[in-house]
Every structure is written in C-alpha cells, then in structure tokens.
Amino acid sequence: MILGRVGQTGWVIRSKSRSLLGRLSVLRAGSIADPLERDLVGVLGAGRVEAGAGAQSLYSHDGSVTRGGRAGIICFPETTAEVAACVSTAVRHGRPFVPRGAGTGLSGGAVPCDEPVMVVTTRMDTIHEVDVDRRLAWVGPGVVNLDLSRHLEGTGLHFAPDPSSQQACTIGGNVANNSGGPHCLLYGVTTAHVLAVEVVLPDGEVVVLGAEEGRAAGYDLRGAFVGGEGTLGIATKICVRLTEDPPEVATLLLDFDLVAGAADTVSAVIAAGIVPAALEIMDQRVVEAVEPFVHAGYPLDAAAVLIVELDGLPAGVAEAIARIETIGTAHGARTVRVAADEDERARIWKGRKSAFGAIAVIKPDYYLNDTVIPRTRLAEVLARVYEVIEERDLIVMNVFHAGDGNLHPLIVFDAREPGVMERVLDAGEEIVRISVEAGGVLSGEHGIGLEKKRFMSMQFSPADLEAQDRLRRAFDVEGLANPAKVLPTGASCGHVTSLGRAPDGTWV
C-alpha cells in the first residue's frame, strides 16, 4: 500500500516560484561582488542564499558547547540537483562545505570551520513515499524524526531511532550522526534502520547506496556512509526501515537506595537472557530536578531509579516482568512499579525525556558527556565518575542509556565562577579516560565532531586512525566535505573553542 507522496502539491507551487526567483536572482547575481556567492545565487536564487552577519552568526553553532566557528555563505537547497549544484560550486571555488540539518548535534559536527559553504537541508522535508507492505519509507533529509512517526500513526509501524531531540532533529542529521535513543537497546541505532540513501558525494556526483530490500551488491558503502558526520557527502533522500509496533508494551519503574543496585540490575537482566526495549537510569539529582515538573511519582529519596520497557507478545512480556521483579529485588530494588495505563507510562517517559530541560533550576550551564562502557562495569565506573566530580568540587547528574552501557554524565556549573571551566574540562577528559580504560569507547550516539577528536588517540592507534582516514579519502578525495571533523589528523579549526554555554533547548 502506498500512503501517498506528502507535499507533492507544495513542491509544484515551490518550483513555480523558484523559476521566477531564478530569473530575478540572475539579474541580482550580477551585482554581487563575491564570485562564490554570485554562483550560488545563480544556482538557488537570492532568496535561498544568505551571507549576512546575522545568518552567519546563527549558523555558526549547533547544539554542542563548541563555539567560535564562522559560517560562510548559507544555502537552502530543496532538491537533490540543487544540493549537487551547491557542492559542485563550492568545490569549484576550492571552498569547503558543511551539511547541516536542524543543528541539534551535540559534538560540533555542524559547527563551521574556516567559513565554509553551509548546505542546510531543512527545506528538504518531504515524506516522499510510505510503503506499508514492504515496511519502508523514502524521506527527505529535512524531515523531523518525530514527524515521520506521527505521519505513520494508524499504520502499525514507526521509525525506531528515538533520540531525545526527536521533536526537532532531522532524519538527515540522524543519518550523519548514526543517532541513538532509549529504544536502540533492542532495535539498534540509526544505521540498522537505513536501507538505502541517496548521497551527493563530495565531488558533486549523485549515487544511491544500499538497497530497499536486503544487502546491495558490492561493498556496504551505505554502512560506511551512515555516521560519517557530514564528512563523506550529503544525504538527499533516505530509505528508512519501518518497525512494527509491538502488540504489548510494559513500562516498569524500579527504585534503589544505591546507584550500584540499579547498575547491577541492568547487567543481571541482560545476563538472564532478557533484552528489554529500553533500560534507563536516572540518579537522585535528576529525579529531584524532574519530579516537580512531570509528577511521574519518582521517589525523591531514591539514589537511583531504573526505567525498564518491555515489548513483544503478551506472554513473553508478562514472563519478563516477573523475572525482572525478582532480579531487581535481589539487587536491592525497594519497589517495582508497573505502569497501569498509557497515561502513567507516558509520565514515566516524560520525566526521562525532559530531564535536561529541568536542570536549569540547579545551575545555568552544563557540559554533557557521552561515552560507552561494558555494562557489567557500570557500577564501578559510575562510582569513579562521582569521585572525579567530587575531587573537582563540581556537581554531576547522571541520566543515561544503562542497557547499552551508554553514560551521559552531565556536569552542571555556573560559568561565571572563576576557574570552574578548567575544572569542568578536566573532569570531562578524566571521565572519557576512565571509560576507555574500562574497555569502553568515546561515543555511543553523539559522535566525535569537533568536541572529541582530540580524544581519538585515547582509543585508537595511528594505524587505526589511518584506516579510518582511508575510508574518508575514498569518499572525499579533495578533503572539502566538513573538514577538520572526526579525525585528529588533517585540517585544523583554529578558531573554535572547545567549551562554551550549551544553547537553550538542548536534548540528550
């Protein structure tokens, strides 16, 4: 069943106005001094090319704390051909380009270095096709993550990756960052849900990587592209896998006197052969900040709460609830609450998903980390994280994807306090070091971008990094696609500072 090509009428209207704009812009382009801007206006029309100081400032940062980059000319293409033309134009002028979606990234992947051409894909927000029978959809990169699942309501299908920014982040950005979310424990991160992707390569050529069904012939270039953080090209159309809605969903809330009890419950559940859809921990500081807003009934005196979501067929879910009650109790759970209805379920999740909006009541600034450790070492690594914070006289809040071992220590502080930035930075680096030494990795879902590339050598040898650079060079021979990101080698981004104030409305 084809549900329809949403926005097709709008596209026709826009294309008419584009041709008029195009004629006007050719007239205007002649008066533009900068040859690159003149050519880009020739491609898109003056109305979709911005070069003013205000726009450049707006597009100089993303959801991360990295600051100081400066955008060059900002382009708003609406079609694959226009993206290809923007890229080709930038390359012809020897200028780098940076793809950008909603700008919710948390590692600085969309922060511009050296005044690149910014290729903003938010106007490519058409859901081109939904094929319910084959459980796939073709979408534009500018489609907002949650908008796709809302569009699918009533079909019995949804798009599984659910980053906490899902009401704002775009699917193009999800592809670039290989985004995660709470339910990726069972369903996998974005790459497991991208069947094929139409890409404008850094030389301007358009290719389709992957296949609608099964593995494409040849190398898995789709797999190589996803998570490329905009350094391998620009996704212009994405074929996503749609996941069947589970017939039964149960959400449990367990609370503990010790954080270690919650952590040990997580690995015991997995060791028992149960793979829940989600396993999320929030520590006491988070619960204290969130409960007054959401009234989810989180116990304020608990050291940690554990949210467990189980889905599937009814008997399996019921069996898993019983086993998790036993496992949790054996590890010190004081109560095990099973959400009685959809309303209670929604409130438990609202607390988790809005956790980062509530922290402003504690301190005005925060620095968020994202590392992964083996889940069996959660308790000991969390204990070390609290020590690191205490030693530096800071405050940390922990709310994270425990089932994956994906830590999100959030250091809250007031940047006006003298010397605090140095302590925050030092603590962040130490947490990364502890995670890697525990057998973990630098990032579970936020990516490397600018923020973490200086840490890459903690996890990788020069030969490891060279192998990654071989992959990058095959896609981007000239090195003009989002340069200075991910790998610590190559171009630098000298003007960018590594820490600033996180913008309002940042999610994790």
For other proteins, the binding residues in 202-231 under the rule CB under 8 A are: 205-209, 211-221, 223-224, 226-228
Nearest approach in angstroms of CB 101 to other proteins is: 16
Given 3-state DSSP classes, what are the helix, strand and coil percentages for the chain, each rounded to the nearest 5?
A: 40, 20, 40
- Specify the stretch interacting with other proteins by CB under 8 A; choose among 19-27, 71-79, 279-287, 366-374: 366-374
| Residue 498: CB minimum distance to other proteins, A | 17
**Cβ 412 to other proteins shortest distance, Å:** 25
Residue 303, amino acid: A
Nearer to other proteins, 142 or 312 (CB): 312
Give the per-residue contact string, 12-51, with other proteins (x = CB under 8 A; - = no): ----------------------------------------
Contacts of 432 (CB under 8 A, 6+ apart): 369, 371, 442, 452, 455, 458
Cβ count near 463 (within 10 Å): 7
Q: Which CB atom, from 308 or from 412, has the smaller least distance to other proteins?
A: 308
Binding mask 435-474 for other proteins (x = CB under 8 A): ----xxxxxxxxxx---x---x--xxx-xxxxxx-xxxxx
Residues sharing a CB contact under 8 Å with residue 75, sequence separation 6 or more, in sequence order: 40, 43, 44, 48, 49, 86, 117, 118, 119, 120
Distances (CA, A) of 32 to 7, 67, 495: 33, 29, 27
Kindly state whether residue 2 participates in binding other proteins, applying the rule CB under 8 A: no
Cβ count within 10 A of residue 270: 18
Q: Point out which span in 66-74, 322-330, 359-367, 399-407 binds other proteins (CB under 8 A).
A: 399-407
Binding to other proteins, residues 253-292 (CB under 8 A): 267-268, 270-271, 273-275
Which range binds other proteins by CB under 8 A, 71-79, 131-139, 323-331, 347-355?
131-139
Alpha helices, DSSP H, located in 117-247? 145-151, 171-177, 184-187, 221-225
Which of 72, 173 has the CB closer to other proteins? 173
Closest CB to other proteins among residues 26, 474: 474
Smallest distance, other proteins to C-beta of residue 229, A: 9
Shortest separation between residue 447's beta carbon and other proteins, angstroms: 6
- Separation of alpha carbons 464 and 460, rounded Å: 5
Please identify, using beta-carbon distances, which residue of 413 and 475 lies nearer to other proteins. 475
Q: What's the min distance (Å) between Cβ of 69 and other proteins?
A: 21
What is the rounded CA–CA span in Å between residue 173 and residue 195? 16
Q: Considering the complex, what minimum distance in angstroms separates the CB of residue 473 from other proteins?
A: 6
312: alpha, beta or left, given left = phi > 0 and alpha = psi -120 to 50? left
Pattern of binders to other proteins over 91-110, x per CB under 8 A? --------------------
Residue 397: name the closest of 425, 357, 340 by CA.
Answer: 357
Residue 224 CA: distances (Å) to CA of 32, 209, 366, 475: 39, 10, 33, 10
Residue with Cβ nearer other proteins (81 or 211): 211
- In the complex, minimum distance from the CB of residue 352 to other proteins, in angstroms, rounded to a whole number: 17
Shortest Å, Cβ 32 to other proteins: 32
Q: How far is the CB of 108 from other proteins (least distance, A)?
A: 14
Q: Name residues contacting other proteins, limited to 139-168 (CB under 8 A).
A: none
Identify whether the C-beta of residue 159 lies closer than 8 Å to the C-beta of residue 144: no
Cβ pair 137, 242 in contact under 8 A: yes
Query: Nearer to other proteins by C-beta: 201 or 410?
Result: 201
Judged by CB under 8 A, the chain residues 173 through 202 that form the site for other proteins are: 177-178, 180, 184, 188-189, 191-192, 201
Give CA–CA dist 477/57, Å, rounded: 30
The least distance separating other proteins from the CB of residue 18, rounded to whole angstroms, comes to 26
Beta strands 234-241 and 206-210, pairing class? unpaired
Judged by CB under 8 A, the residue of 7, 22, 68, 246 near other proteins is 246
Chain positions 367 to 386 lying near other proteins, rule: CB under 8 A, are: 372-376
DSSP state letters, 344-379: HHHHHHHHHHTGGGGGGGT-SEEEE--EE--GGGHH
Chain positions 52 to 91 lying near other proteins, rule: CB under 8 A, are none
**Helix, strand or coil for residue 460?**
coil
Give residues with Cβ within 8 angstroms of 96, minimum separation 6. 90, 113, 114, 116, 117, 480, 481, 482, 483
Q: What whole-number distance in Å separates Cα of residue 55 and Cα of residue 458?
A: 37
Euclidean distance between CA atoms 54 and 45, whole angstroms: 19
Contacts to other proteins from residues 304-363, by CB under 8 A: 312-316, 319
